[in-house]
Structure 1
Amino acid sequence: MKIGFNILIVSLFTFSLLSCNQKIEGGKTVSAADILGSPDYQAISYGGYRAKSRDIQPTMEELKEDLRILEAMNIKVLRTYNVQFMEVPNLLEAISQMKSEDPNFEMYVMMGAWIDCENAWTDLEPNHEAESPANAGEIERVVKLANQYPDILKMIAVGNEAMVRWATSYFVQPKYILKWVNHLQDLKKSGGLPADIWITSSDDFSSWGGGDASYHTEDLVALYKAVDFISMHTYPYHNTHYNPAFWRESDSLADLSEKEKIDAAMIRARDFAKSQYDSVRSYMKSIGVEKSIHIGETGWATVSDGFYGPEGSRATDEYKQALYYQHMREWTNTEGISCFYFEAFDEQWKDAKNPEGSENHFGLINLSGQAKYPLWEMVDEGKFEGLTRGGEKITKTYNGNFDSLMQDVLVPPSKD
C-alpha cells in the first residue's frame, strides 16, 4: 500500500522550490548534521498546553509567547511528540511567521510521529502484536509538514517510547517502527521528503540495546541500521524509585553536611545517565553500528506526591532539578551530544486529576510564568526582560529566596 501518494506527488513538484528557503542570515544552510551534537544549538522538549485538557489548544499568540521565552533561554531546537492535534502545525507556522518578522530569529524542530499499538488508549485490551490503523495518518501528516516547513523541521522521530515493554498502554513491536522509518527513508530517496532531514525513533535506552538482552533482536538491529541517528531516553529521576542503588546515601558520606550529601547524589544521578549512554554506545559498537547517539529525553521533576516525594525517594525539588540540568548540559556540551531536556514548561494535562503528580512538574518554568531555580540566574541577567507568559512577567519561584527554596529540599534516604 502506498502511503500519502498525493502528498508525494505534490512534494516532488515543490521540493526544489521549498529547499531554496533553507537559509538563515548570511546564506548559511542549517541541516540536522549541523545541529546534532553542536552546543550552539541547545535543545529542549516542548509542549505548549496550559490547560488540564488537550482539548484546549494553545493559541498562536501563546505559542509565540513561548518561543520568545525559549529564544531568551538560548534554545534553538525543539522536540515535539505528535501531530494528532493542531499544536505542532501551529507551532511550525508560528516559527515561520517569527522568522519572517525577524531574520535573526532561529528555531528548528525535531517532530515526533506518535505510533501506537492496536486498541491503545481505548477500553479494549491493547494488542501489542498489531499496530494502530491511525499510524498511517500520523505519518502522512508528518510528511506534509516536513515538506511545508523544510527550513524549520530538521528531524523526525517515529514513535516515543513505543518499543519499550513497560509502556503497557501502547507499545508496539519494533517491526512497525522499522516499517515507518524505512518508509520515510524511501521518501527521502525518491524526493518525497527533503534529502537532508534525519530520521530516528526516540525511545528508552533499553530499546537501543543498552539494557536487557531481550531487546537484542533482529528487528531492532535492523532499525538501528535504518535510522540516521539514535535518540535515547535516560531518567535517573525515575530510577531513584525503580532502581535506587545509585541514589541512596552510603555510610561513607555520613560526615558530609546535608547540602553536600545532596550535591553528591546529583553527581551520582548524572553518572547514572552517563552509564546508560555508555551502555548504548558499547552495544552499538559491538554490533558494528556507527551512528551518532543523542539524548532525546531526560529531566527532573520539582513536585511529587508519589514515588519521588517526601514519602518516597525524596528526589523531587527545584534545587536537585537545577543541579541535574547543569550537570547534563555541561557533560553533553563537552562531549558533543545533543540533549533534548524534558521539558520547557510545566503541563498540567498529563496528570490532570492529581495536581501534585510529578508528570505535571518537569518544566523549567511553571504555569504561573515563574522561572524555577535552574533559570534564576537568567532572570537576574535580564534575559526575560519585557517577556510574559499568560500576561505574567517571568519572575523567580520562592520570590527568589534561596533559603526558602532549600526548606523543601530533602536528603536522599540512607542505604539499608
Structure 2
Amino acid sequence: MNRNKPLTIAPGKAICYSGFREGQSPESGIYPTYEQIKEDLLILNNHWKYLRLYDCDKQTDIVLEVIQKEKLDFKVMLGAYIGAEMNNFGCPWGGTYSEEELNKNKERNLNQIQKLIQLANQYPEIIFSLSAGNEALVHWTDHYVPLENVIRYVRMIKKGAKQPVTFCENYVPWLDKLKDLVEEIDFISIHTYPVWEYKNIHEAMEYTKQNYYSVADKYPNKPVVITEAGWATNSNGRGISIGNVSQDLQEIYYNDLVNWSEEDDVLTFVFEAFDEPWKGSQEPLEPEKHWGLFTVDRKPKKVMAKLFADSRIV
C-alpha cells in the first residue's frame, strides 16, 4: 500500500499524450488538427481518465478545446516546457548553446510559465495539476535549467494558479539534488525506465518499485506520482538492446505496471499513447519513436489488441 498521502483525486488510469503524426513536429511548427486530436481523444476516452501534456503550445490549446467542446471525461496534468538556460557539457547528444540562444530560451520559458498559468485559470475544471518543467535538472539533459530558476518558476505558478504544482524528473535527482525543490512543490513526479537502464523484463517491475519507493520513503509526507513509465517496442541498438524490446515485452510490463499501480494506489502515467516518428534521430528504429501503445497510424499494438478488438481503428 502506498505509504505516502495520495493526491486528492479519483482513481483512474493515466497516460502521456502527444499527437504528432507523420510530417508533424513541434520543431517544424506543423501541429495536429482539431479533427486529428479529436480522433485520438475518442480512442483514449473511457479507457484513461488522466492525460499528461508537456508543453503550452498550439497542440495543447486544441487538446483543451476538444475536451471542453466534445465534453470528454479527461483531467489534465499540464506542463510548461522549459528550454536550456545554461550549458550542460555532460549531455552526450549536445547540451551547449550560444549566449544568444540561452537568453532566447529564458524569454520563451517565462512565456511558457505565464501561458501555463493562463490555461490553468481558463480550464480549472479540466486541468487538475501543473508541472514547472520536464527533465531539465538531470545530469544528462540537453535543456538544463539551474535549480534556483526552477524554484522561481514553481513559486510563480503557485502564486498565479490554484492547482497543485509539481516538477517532472527522473527518479535519481530526487534522492539528493532536488531536496530544496521538494519543499516548494505540492507533490513529486518521477520517471522510471528499467529498459533504458539495461534491465530485462524479469527485473523490470521490481526495479520500478525500487525506483518509486526510494523516493517515496525519503519524503514520507509528500505525495509521489510516476509521470513516465513504459516499454519501447523497437530499437536500433543504441541505448537499448534490440533483444530487450518487443510488443510482447511491452504488454508484460504494461500489465504488471498497471496492476501494481492500482494495488499500491500510485497514480502512474504510462508513456505513451501513440508512437511519435519526429523524435530522436533519423533512424526508423530509434527507440524514442516507439513507446506508444498504438502505432503512429493509430493501430493498437499487442498490449491494446484485446481492449480494442472490436474497434474501428484495428
8 Å CA contact 2:85, 2:146 repeated in 1:
no
2:39 alignment partner in structure 1: 65
In the superposition, relative to structure 1, how do residues 126 and 344 fare at CA in structure 2: closer, same or farther (>3 Å)?
A: farther
Give 4+ residue runs of structure 1 displaced > 6 Å after superposition.
119-123
Instruction: State the shift of 1:51 in Å.
Output: 2.4
Q: Secondary structure at the match of 2:307?
A: helix
2:266 alignment partner in structure 1: 337
Instruction: Point out the structure with max Rg over C-alpha.
Output: 1
1:306 pairs with 2:240: no
Deviations along 1:363-405, one digit per CA (max 9) or x if unpaired, are 000022221111111123x3x3xxxxxxxx422xxxxxxxxxx
Q: 1:111 aligns with which of 62, 75, 78?
A: 78
8 Å CA contact 1:308, 1:314 repeated in 2:
no
Deviations along 1:62-102, one digit per CA (max 9) or x if unpaired, are 11100100014x1011101111x300011000100011xxx
Q: 2:53 aligns with which of 77, 80, 89?
A: 80
- In the TM superposition, 1:6-405 aligns within 5 A as 33-35=7-9, 38=10, 40-54=11-25, 55-72=29-46, 74-83=47-56, 85-99=57-71, 105-118=72-85, 124-125=97-98, 132-167=106-141, 169-187=142-160, 193=161, 195=162, 197-209=163-175, 216-217=176-177, 220-240=178-198, 247=199, 265-285=200-220, 290-307=221-238, 312=241, 314-351=243-280, 353-380=282-309, 382=310, 384=311, 393-395=312-314
8 Å CA contact 2:166, 2:185 repeated in 1:
yes
Output the aligned Cα RMSD: 2.4
Deviations along 1:101-146, one digit per CA (max 9) or x if unpaired, are xxxx31111011111223678973589x987232110011111111
In the superposition, relative to structure 1, how do residues 126 and 272 fare at CA in structure 2: closer, same or farther (>3 Å)?
A: farther
**AA in 2 matched with 1:231:** S
Deviations along 1:158-205, one digit per CA (max 9) or x if unpaired, are 1100110111x2111211111111112223xxxxx2x3x110000010
Residues in 2 aligned to 1:303 and 1:318: alpha-carbon distance in whole angstroms:
8
In the superposition, relative to structure 1, how do residues 125 and 356 fare at CA in structure 2: closer, same or farther (>3 Å)?
A: same
Deviations along 1:9-55, one digit per CA (max 9) or x if unpaired, are xxxxxxxxxxxxxxxxxxxxxxx9443xx5x3211000000024422
Deviations along 1:258-310, one digit per CA (max 9) or x if unpaired, are xxxxxxx424101011111111123224xxxx11111010111101112366x
- Using structure 1 for the length normalisation, give the TM-score: 0.68
Instruction: State the shift of 1:222 in Å.
Output: 2.5
8 Å CA contact 2:216, 2:222 repeated in 1:
no
Deviations along 1:211-245, one digit per CA (max 9) or x if unpaired, are xxxxx24xx322101111111001101011xxxxx
Q: Which structure 2 segments of 5+ residues have no match?
A: 1-5, 88-93
Residues in 1 aligned to 2:30 and 2:281: alpha-carbon distance in whole angstroms:
13
In the superposition, relative to structure 1, how do residues 59 and 119 fare at CA in structure 2: closer, same or farther (>3 Å)?
A: farther
Moved more, 177-186 or 341-350: 177-186
- Using structure 2 for the length normalisation, give the TM-score: 0.88
**AA in 1 matched with 2:313:** I
Residues in 1 aligned to 2:99 and 2:16: alpha-carbon distance in whole angstroms:
27
Moved more, 367-376 or 339-348: 367-376
8 Å CA contact 1:294, 1:338 repeated in 2:
yes
8 Å CA contact 1:157, 1:200 repeated in 2:
yes
In the superposition, relative to structure 1, how do residues 62 and 337 fare at CA in structure 2: closer, same or farther (>3 Å)?
A: same
Residues in 2 aligned to 1:329 and 1:118: alpha-carbon distance in whole angstroms:
36
In the superposition, relative to structure 1, how do residues 281 and 33 fare at CA in structure 2: closer, same or farther (>3 Å)?
A: closer
Residues in 2 aligned to 1:328 and 1:126: alpha-carbon distance in whole angstroms:
43
